[in-house]
Amino acid sequence: MKEKNFKISLSLLLITLIIVLISMAFMPKEIPLHYDLQGNIDNYGSKYWFLLIPFLAFLTWGLLHLIARSFKKQNKNSNSKITYIASSCTMIMFIILELIFIVIEFKKMDSISIENIIYRTANIGLGLTFILIGNVLPKITKNKVIGLRTTWSLYNDNTWNTSQRQGGYMIIGIGFAMIIASIFVFGVYNLFVLFGSISIMLILAYVISYQAYKKEINKATTK
């Protein structure tokens, strides 16, 4: 199973490169490189800049692969599997990002359409990623690399397990909220949905882990 997850994540990494190489064969030498907040092109450059996306995907995959192998050496196979799943999800996000920019490049659209595609698709993709993370979070065993990690959640196994379980519910809820909000929010205002969701997630993560820690301390003092 671990090898299967490794092969899936590696295959998705190769797909990020294949998509770019094929699309570049049909691109002009110069392409739009940057859009302003209204979706208007404000910078052009070489089509070879597209290779930056699979390069960043490779760096991300490599880092997560090293983390997964580290867990495997520690006999934390569950964490290794989850890390590879996270790697696969990240590669899918890179693929979605590539496809968005390729569609924008080949299909001439007005600035409003571009704006909605970029911000809305990114938020929906992140929302789905958060839902998946929330489902696997409770399965992560105690460590200092992945998971909901605070000083309080790392106090002992009970605080860790409680933090991951409740944190998972929280992240799933925020993921659904992001998807729903992105359907009704237009253009650049999706950035407010993104930053607001991340801010709420960070605050609740500390609250959840502190409450788990406080409950554990109270339990110890009453014995």
**Annotated domain spans of the chain:** 1-108, 110-223
**Sign of the torsion angle spanned by Cα atoms 23, 24, 26, 28:** positive
pLDDT band at 1 (very low <50, low <70, confident <90, very high): very low
| The pLDDT value given to residue 11 | 93
pLDDT band at 25 (very low <50, low <70, confident <90, very high): confident
Tell me the pLDDT tens digit for each residue of 93-133: 889 888 887 877 776 554 545 666 777 888 888 888 899 88
User: What whole-number distance in Å separates Cα of residue 63 and Cα of residue 68?
Assistant: 9
Q: Which of 41-45, 54-58, 146-150 has the lowest mean pLDDT?
A: 41-45
Secondary structure of the chain: what % helix, strand, coil (to 5)? Answer: 75, 5, 15
Assess whether pLDDT exceeds 70 at residue 83. Answer: yes
| The pLDDT value given to residue 37 | 58
| The pLDDT value given to residue 99 | 83
User: What whole-number distance in Å separates Cα of residue 109 and Cα of residue 213?
Assistant: 52
| The pLDDT value given to residue 151 | 92
Helix (H) or strand (E) holding 35: strand 30-35
Helix axes 52-73, 2-24, angle to 10 degrees: 170
Mean pLDDT of 43-56: 86
Helices (H), 25-150: 52-73, 77-106, 111-136
End-to-end CA distance of the chain: 43
- Check if the beta carbon of residue 61 is closer than 8 Å to that of residue 13: yes
Assess whether pLDDT exceeds 80 at residue 141. Answer: yes
List the structure tokens of 221.
Answer: 């003092």
